[in-house]
Chains A and B, each alone.
Chain A
Amino acid sequence: MITGNLKTSYRADEQVLNNRWKRGFVLAAIAGLAAIPLFGNNYIVLIACQMGIMLIAVTGVNVVIGYTGLMSLGHAAFVAIGAYATVIFHNAAGGVIPESLLTLVAIPFAVVVSALAGIIVGLPSLRVKGLYLAVATLSANFIVIFLIEEQLFAPWTGGMNGINTPTANLLGWELSTRRELFWLIAVLAVLALLAAQNLFRTRVGRAFIAIRDRDYSAEILGISLYRYKLMSFAISAAYCGLAGALFAYFYARILPEQFDLHLSLMLVAAIIVGGMGRTMGAVYGVIIIVMVPEVIKVVFGALAGGGAELAMIRAPIQEIAFGALIVGFLLFEPFGINQIIDRALRALNRWPFARG
């Protein structure tokens, strides 16, 4: 039974992973991730890649919704901007920068472009919040997708037809298969999570939490709302931009409609299900949001055996399940799976003396 965390130095107290359980968990998780491309079959690698990309984006959404308390229903726009920035950068700088370095420059470029877009979209957050901000960001999502689809920009974005994406190339190592790409996705996803965990022991992260808990009080305490709200949007957009860049490398072609409102809702749904304002919440949420449709698909596949009659009702059922997850968690477990797991761990820790 752990009764407390004894720290004998400030250094120990300030660590990102401040006890050995956390360190052990992270190491075990990394080992588990490494096992996927080494032993998993194509299907597992495919799903794992999708989860990795989504995890980075959800972590970003968690920064702005979960930690800063700003409502956003438009984060798919940043994923889109990241993805298109990557492709456009490759096409524009293809001749200038050597192939083997291109990816290493393109990813930071996409992240920066998304962060800048995040600042612009975040501007309304200075004036409005809550519902108004939700609709403002939702509008921004519609507008960004519209601009990408617009004929005027089609020479760069490919318009509605979408655009072929480049292959990632790390110093001459061409990541042409999903298995190879998984390494890149997994490394970046783990780094992104650790960075998010780290963020909230810094001044910036604490300011975010203060804003979430009561923005006017935070302002009175000397936190510049202007600065930190925009910073929150920028950081979360940067995460989404990174996810977008990986999205572009993962798929051979991207279409604007892949980044529509539905993706935004999925990102928000993931943190609701996983647990808002908790680093691991994003992980649990992504696993559920990606796995539930897959499980339904597999079950229906087994029942239908390739027939169309049951396949016809699969999509509506997946949709209902998606909605039911959001509604169910909001009604019965507003802090998400993270809360359930915390409770279980606490019970385990105290067992047999107390439960819950």
Chain B
Amino acid sequence: MGQFLQFTINGLMSGAIYALIAVGLVSVFKATRVVNFAHGYLIMFGAYFYFTFAVLVPQMPFAPEWLQSWRPEWMLAMRADLPMFSPMAAVLDWMANLPRILLGLAGALVCNALLGLLIERALMRPLMGQSVFAMIMLTVGLISILSGAAQLIWTSDAEFVPALAPNTPIRFEMFGANIFLFGADLANMAIALLIFLGIVAMVRYTKSGVAIRATAEDQSTAYSMGISVPTVFSRAWVLASTTGAIAGAILATRNGISPALGLFGFSVLAIVLMGGLDSYLGVFIAAMAVGVLEALTQWKLGGEWAGIVPYVAVLIVILIRPHGLLGSKEIERI
């Protein structure tokens, strides 16, 4: 029971990250009717941008000392008499890194937003109104371009990046078993859930959110109602690439940074389809379910089985409910 709890919590934590990634895919789909197969590679770029601004830039000669490692007197004094791996030490180590973490996040957000805009303007807009096949394959082509470009710009090396939150170990006993949690993971989960909720609220209550929903409903009607559809498109892409940047930064701190991050996109694609392409709630349920299922599979069957959980799940769901758990049915006219 204790172990079950442990892996359920692990699963919920990765599920929250899946949800954060999925929110980008859903937003782009709602606004533009395009499903971005290359979303995982946008995330990878976010991770690399975070790495660039949080690790590479502070190491450069022109960067001030405090950017690399901010250690005021009081902090050194506090740190001196703490053991190596105590919770307080973890918090202090995190605070020393805080300037570069913030710079990293800011850089990742801005750069990824620009990248998203570039993709939207240069590649997606010319294909507006084309077949689903062309749209999908365009994003498939984008996969190769992005992953090749990342390898050209950053050597494909697994690098360490500073965690977004203090990585205090949390350890408690429940049902007679030890439960181990990473502080940073809990914080990541909180960040992911807050952003998810924020975006759902934004789409529901703000003006630009209404524009997105109107565009999703009917593009030409939205156009004639005075909504600038191209702006909506751009906004959706920026939303997707910035949430992707944060997801990328989180994944980079959790799993190390490497081109393999791009593969997350495919699992999340399966999750999004499972939940229903245009339903935030459905996607949230699917993300959490897949996260927990994966963790439990990992526990009972081993790591190699965990990798195919999303794909098996999506096949089953699609066969039973072709439009996902809560997706709305498409109506076709002949």
Contact = CB atoms under 8 A, between A and B. Distances in A.
Partners in one complex: yes
Contacts, number: 129
Interface residues of B, number: 42
Given A142-B308, A318-B148, A330 B319 contact: no
B299 interface: no
A214 B123 contact: no
A124 B334 contact: no
A124 B138 contact: no
Contact of A268 (B126, B140, B147, B307): B140
A319 B132 contact: no
B144 A326 contact: yes
Interface centre among A71, A216, A268, A330 (most CB of B within 10 A): A330
Interface stretch (B87-95, B230-238, B265-273): B265-273
B136 A134 contact: yes
A330 to B, nearest CB: 5
Contacts of A108: none
The A interface is mostly helix, strand or loop, or mixed, namely helix
Interface stretch (A44-52, A125-133, A342-350): A125-133
A29 to B, nearest CB: 28
Given A127-B319, A131-B35, A334-B134, A315 B141 contact: no
Interface centre among A132, A140, A146, A325 (most CB of B within 10 A): A132
B307 to A, nearest CB: 7
Contacts of A268: 137, 140
Contact of B322 (A69, A127, A322): A127
Given A316-B149, A317-B148, A319-B151, A325 B311 contact: no
Interface centre among A140, A313, A319, A334 (most CB of B within 10 A): A319
Contact of B126 (A135, A316, A324, A331): A331
A185 interface: no
Given A142-B308, A268-B140, A327-B138, A128 B132 contact: no
A317 B266 CA distance: 23
B154 to A, nearest CB: 10
Given A135-B269, A326-B140, A71 B132 contact: yes
Given A138-B266, A146-B308, A317 B152 contact: yes
B328 to A, nearest CB: 13
Contact of A123 (B138, B151, B319): B319
A65 B140 CA distance: 15
Contacts of B132: 71, 130-131
B143 interface: yes
B126 to A, nearest CB: 6
Given A136-B315, A136-B318, A330-B127, A323 B152 contact: no
Contact of B142 (A69, A143, A150, A327): A327
Interface string B196-226: 0000000000000000000000000000000
Interface in A100-150: 123-124, 127-128, 130-132, 134-136, 138-140, 142-143, 146, 149-150
Given A139-B312, A331-B126, A124 B304 contact: no
B314 interface: yes
B133 interface: yes
B136 A71 contact: yes
A130 B130 CA distance: 13
A136 to B, nearest CB: 6
Contact of B137 (A135, A272, A319): A272
Interface in B278-334: 304, 307-308, 310-312, 314-315, 318-319, 322-323, 332, 334
A188 interface: no
Contacts of B118: none
A81 interface: no
Contacts of A176: none
B177 interface: no
A127 B321 CA distance: 9
Interface string B113-130: 000000000010011001
A53 interface: no
A354 interface: no
Contacts of A69: 133
Contact of A139 (B133, B314, B332): B314
A269 B142 CA distance: 12
A325 B314 CA distance: 30
A135 B37 CA distance: 10
B137 A146 contact: no
Interface in B10-41: 35
Contact of B318 (A127, A146, A272): A127
Given A65-B133, A124-B319, A322-B144, 13 more contacts: A69-B133, A71-B133, A131-B136, A131-B277, A135-B269, A136-B314, A139-B312, A146-B304, A265-B143, A272-B137, A316-B152, A319-B144, A324-B145
Closest 6 CB pairs of A and B: A323-B144, A326-B141, A319-B148, A139-B311, A323-B145, A320-B148
Interface of A: 65, 69, 71, 73, 123-124, 127-128, 130-132, 134-136, 138-140, 142-143, 146, 149-150, 214, 216-217, 220, 261, 265, 268-269, 272, 313, 315-320, 322-327, 330-331, 334
11 contacts: A127-B322, A131-B132, A131-B136, A142-B307, A146-B307, A320-B145, A323-B143, A326-B140, A327-B123, A327-B141, A331-B123
